[in-house]
Each structure stands twice: as C-alpha cells, then as structure tokens.
Amino acid sequence: MIASLTKSTMKQYSACFKKYWNFCLSKGQDPFVYKLQTYLEFLSEHLNQGNSFSVINSYRSALNLIFGPLETGDQKIITRFLKGVANVHPPRPKYSFTWNPDPVLEHLESLYPLENLTIELLVKKLVTLMALTSASRVQTLSVIKLENINIKPDKIEIKIPERIKTTAPGRYQPLLIFPFFNNNPKLCVASTIVAYINQTQLCRKDVKNLILTLRKPIHAASSQTISRWIKKTLYDAGIDTSVYSAHSIRHASTSAAFRAGVNIEQIRNTAGWTPTSKTFFKFYNRPLKEPNDNFARAIMNLGK
C-alpha cells in the first residue's frame, strides 16, 4: 500500500497523520482504533479552522489509507460530510485567468546569444522554455537524464522512464520532443539544451541528471529549485508572480495552444492527460486577463 503512493503524496499524508495522532491523544483516543465520531470530529476541527475543501479531502484520503475499506454505512456518512464541506467551502480553480506568453517569449529572446550567457541565465532560459513548449511539470524536468536524451539532426527526443505524477498502469510515459527551431534560433529549445550540456560538461562529473544546481557541491536540481528559477524568469518578464506560481506556466502554455487551434487530443497527449480527461477544461483552460469593462463599454457605445 505504501509503494502505491508517490513520495510527495506520502509527505502530504504524513502531515495529516501527525495531526490526527495529536488530536486523538488530546481526546484520550487510540489513534489506531477507528471510530466514526473521532474521524468526523477531526475533519470538522480542521474545517472550522478555515481549511479548504481540498485540504479536508486530502485528510480523508490519508485516514482511509489507514482505516479503509470502511463499512458501507460509515462511508455514506463520510461522503455526505464531504458534500457539506464542498457547500461550505466550494472547491475553486487556482486561477480564473492566465497570462499572455508573449512577454515571456520576448524576454527569453533577449537572452541571446547563448554562448554569452552566464550558466545561471542559461539554465533559467532552458527550464522556462522547456516548461512552456512541452507543458511539462517541473517534476518531469527534474528527472531528465542525459542517457535518455537523443539528439537528432532535426530534433531532440527525451524519454522519461522514471515514475512521475502521471505514471499509471497502462499509460505511456512521456516523450518530450523539441525540434530545432531554425526560423528563430533565439527561442530554439533544442539548441539551448545542446548549449547547456556543453557548458556543464566539465562540472557535472558523475551527475546524470540534465539540470544541475548552480552552487557547489554540484548535484541534480530539485523540483523546488527549478520552480524558483521559472518563477524568477516570469518575474523578470513582467508576470505578476504574487498571483502566478511557476506551475502557472502549464496553464499559460496549454491555454495558448488551444487558442492557437491545437486540437484537444494533442494537448492532452502533450500534457500527459488521458484521452478522456476533463482536467484541461476544468482547471487549465483559462482566458487571458484583460480589462473587465468591455461589456459596459460596448453597451455605452450603442448610443453613439
């Protein structure tokens, strides 16, 4: 059962287990003995603390890992409780709007020629371009290995055999494809990958991951480090990073591709969603943030 969880999920559940342990001890209850009343009181306490639906639902999943499968009657009560939580704190998408990729692309174009860039600017350009053109999560970028990079005359193919968030039985692992963009070498992801590999060849030693840290001792860059680099690049390009995180680049890229006419099947395949997934339309497809007075202005102009 533990092996069925990713490290990030286990870390998330561990926070719940600690809180549930302390809650049970404060109530004089055995944490390992299931009681519906204790279960619901724990969830209610965190609901009253103002936690969102997603947090309460995460705690439910964590407790069910320990106590499940529950009796049918109890499971119906818990399901009813979660419906009530959804009414009290309705789950909402993180973003109602997304940002326009154009300023980011203009900023990345300014980071050229590649051989004149510092290694810090080069890696920031690399990870931002890769995330923007492949709609990949930073987790995916962090596990790229040199041995899985196939450089061809017209493109670069990168296999991702490691377990990532979208890994599941019967589902294909990602294959990232970056063509050599000769029409605009300033935004060519493939050329940036080659330049980065060449510049880091001497300092990487035995590190097999593509993306490395900047400070010694040199090692593979984590997802958190790559996220910081992307967020800083977005900030430098004029994106409001007090609102948008590094993950918002996935919203921006998939939404921009959809507006440009890329079919939904291609978007799902590129982003790692299943053929029937509704994730894009529910959480990622967002309009550009524009002034919201267009409707009022249109009506007022009717009188002219």
Query: What would the pLDDT profile of 63-83 be if each residue is shown by its tens digit?
Result: 998 887 788 889 999 999 999
pLDDT of residue 216: 87
Q: pLDDT class for 275, splitting at 50, 70, 90?
A: confident
Q: What percent of the chain has pLDDT over 70?
A: 95
Of 206, 208, 182, 180, nearest to 194 (Cα)? Answer: 180
Mean pLDDT (whole number) for 194-207: 92
299 is written with which tokens? 């009506």
What CATH homologous superfamily does 102-284 map to?
Intergrase catalytic core (1.10.443.10)
Task: Please answer whether residues 284 and 250 qualify as being in contact, where contact means their C-beta atoms are separated by less than 8 angstroms.
Answer: yes
Decide: 14 and 2 in contact? Cβ < 8 Å: no
H-helix or E-strand spanning residue 159: strand 155-159
For residue 270, give Cα distances in angstroms to 2, 135, 181, 252: 29, 7, 18, 14
pLDDT at residue 89, rounded to an integer: 83
In the chain, residues under CATH classification 1.10.150.130 are: 2-88
Judged by DSSP in three states, 178 sits in strand
* Residue 298: pLDDT over 70: no
Confidence at residue 11, expressed as pLDDT on a 0 to 100 scale: 87
The CA-to-CA distance between both ends of the chain, in Å, stands at: 69
Task: Convert the pLDDT of each residue in 236-252 to its tens digit.
Answer: 999 999 999 999 999 89
Residue 299's pLDDT band (cuts 50, 70, 90): low
Domain 2-88 indexed as CATH 1.10.150.130: yes
pLDDT digit string, tens, across residues 160-200: 988 877 777 777 788 899 999 988 999 999 999 999 999 99
Residue 271, Cβ neighbours under 10 Å: how many? 21
Which token pair is 230? 């992307």
